[in-house]
Amino acid sequence: MLTPYQIILKKREGGILSPEEIDYFIKQYTAGKIPDYQASALLMAIFFKGMDDGEILHLTRAMMSTGTIVRLSDVPGCKADKHSTGGVGDKISLMLAPLAAACGVKVPMVSGRGLGHTGGTVDKLEAIPGFRTGVSIPEYKRILKQVGLVMSRQSDHLVPADRKLYALRDVTGTVESVPLITSSIMSKKLAEGIDVLVLDVKVGNGAFMKDLARARALAKKMVQVGRLYGKKVAAYLTDMSQPLGREVGNWNEVVESVKMLRGESDADDIVELTIKLTAEMISLCSGETRASASQRVKRAIESGAGYEKFLEMVRAQGGDSSVVENPAKYRMPRVVVEVKSPESGYVDSMDTFKIGMAAVKLGAGREKIEDKIDPVVGITFLKKVGDRVNAGDVIAIVQANDEERAKSAKADIKNAYSFSGRKCSRPELIKERIA
């Protein structure tokens, strides 16, 4: 007879868990028959001892089997999704999904909330007044057919095991585990009914994978699992050694995404990465070259087709599109504080993890599962790596609703910057493609 204690002990000692043991633990935990403290113990054991390929595949399958597998065969066209392993200021999904849909790809996107120091697409979408990320499967299909994309959170019926474990990983320091990340991401994506998946694996001081070798290992593992399930999968290793774009914070990132879709962005990194990942998705679906697909994406930006598709999705999911069209109507933060450079020179590096945690402390993320998100707080970055600064220049702006939190964030952000007298190059944004 299997017991949670035996399974935890076996993995703690470095043993290989059988399919039966994995299936038992996941089903019993999802049903509420194994408490959080025992699930936390197993997560920690996996974090330190790892899992082999067979265990990861079985864990992914066991998590999928706890919920509904969505069938989208009645939705015409290629169904594709994109997933990022998480970063600071990573709002690419908000731009990629409508652009891909404007180019004819069906995008059923199931996203997550913030995890640790990283932001979540669901939290950003819910910053739009009225926007509903919780939709039933019939409504999910209807919106997908009608608009060409739908952006939702996990329903109660889609991989409930992951929803529980995801929240537990967030508060137990077990996020940065290749087996746990792989099974979490792939169980959700494989349950969506998609044909194509594009993965954005972040690497750097603001990513869960700090070094290129670990990020590559994670990307290869996810691509391998996707292929075993007959999906077309490509992964990109991309930089997260500084915030992506200029905005961090939920409403801030919505506004920045809208500016990009309107062709008004001055953040070259989000433009470059959005075009690259969207073109990959289109190419995998259509068979055309990535260069040709890139041109289609650029035209969808220039024509405003991606922006119009975003507005269409917002309306279909109950959001107030007038606020998206005119962000000045949104409520403003009560406290705005400037962060000034302490010296002259060049921005040499940024501690992106520290910046992400500063945003969490402001209320843009969660320190505990039950914490409420404040959509209006955030940080705007005026200077990033490679930029010239003079002493006293404003390098960032903190938007807060509490004086003490603003003061603390200002100090953290100031300490997150380092400067040099010599000009340094910007980090390479796209490091590798794995497909």
Q: What is the pLDDT of residues 124-162, one digit of tens each?
A: 999 999 999 999 889 999 999 999 999 998 777 889 999
3-class secondary structure, 347: strand
First to last CA, the chain: 42
> Is 70 exceeded by the pLDDT of residue 204?
yes
Q: What is the pLDDT of residues 402-420, one digit of tens each?
A: 999 999 999 999 999 999 9
Residue 146's pLDDT is what? 96
> Is 70 exceeded by the pLDDT of residue 103?
yes
> Is 80 exceeded by the pLDDT of residue 235?
yes
Which one from 23, 90, 123, 162 is the annotated catalytic residue?
162
Beta carbons within 8 Å of 303's beta carbon, 6+ residues apart: none
Mean pLDDT of all residues in 287-312: 98
Residue 342's pLDDT is what? 96
What are the b/e assignments for 411-433, b being 16+ CB within 10 Å? ebbeebbebeeeeeeebebebee
Residue 396's pLDDT is what? 98
In the chain, what are the domains? 4-50 (1.20.970.10), 80-325 (3.40.1030.10), 332-420 (3.90.1170.30)
Which one from 83, 163, 246, 276 is the annotated catalytic residue?
83
On average, the pLDDT of the chain sits at 95
Q: What is the pLDDT of residues 324-365, one digit of tens each?
A: 999 999 999 999 999 999 999 999 999 999 999 999 999 998
**Would strands 378-381 and 394-400 be described as parallel, antiparallel, or unpaired?**
antiparallel
Residue 173's pLDDT is what? 86
Residue 101's pLDDT is what? 98
Q: For residue 86, what pLDDT band results from cuts at 50, 70 and 90?
A: confident
> Is 80 exceeded by the pLDDT of residue 187?
yes
Q: For residue 428, what pLDDT band results from cuts at 50, 70 and 90?
A: very high
162 is annotated as an active-site residue: yes
Q: For the residues of 114-163, what is the DSSP string, one character each?
A: -BTTB--HHHHHTTSTT------HHHHHHHHHHHSEEEEEPPTTS-HHHH
- CB of 169 closer than 8 Å to CB of 116: no
Residue 166's pLDDT is what? 82
117 is annotated as an active-site residue: no
> Is 80 exceeded by the pLDDT of residue 370?
no
Distance CA 207, CA 88 (A): 8
Find tokens 């991606």 and name the residue.
Answer: 306
418 is annotated as an active-site residue: no
3-class secondary structure, 333: coil
Q: How far, CA to CA in Å, does 102 sit from each of 110, 140, 197, 298, 299? A: 19, 18, 18, 11, 10
Residue 369's pLDDT is what? 66
Token output for 130: 């009225």
Length of the chain: 435
pTM of the model: 0.90
Q: Strands (DSSP E) along 307-368, which ranges?
A: 335-340, 345-350
Which one from 106, 188, 232, 259 is the annotated catalytic residue?
188
Which one from 58, 163, 164, 169 is the annotated catalytic residue?
169
Q: How far, CA to CA in Å, does 331 sit from each of 104, 249, 373, 376? A: 35, 14, 15, 7
Q: How far, CA to CA in Å, does 388 sit from each of 228, 270, 384, 396, 423? A: 48, 21, 9, 14, 8
Instruction: List the 388-389 sheet strands across, edge first.
Output: 388-389, 345-350, 417-420
Q: For residue 119, what pLDDT band results from cuts at 50, 70 and 90?
A: confident
Q: For residue 283, what pLDDT band results from cuts at 50, 70 and 90?
A: very high
Token output for 295: 């041109």
309 is annotated as an active-site residue: no
What are the b/e assignments for 133-152, b being 16+ CB within 10 Å? bebeeebbbebbeebbbbbb
3-class secondary structure, 314: helix
188 is annotated as an active-site residue: yes
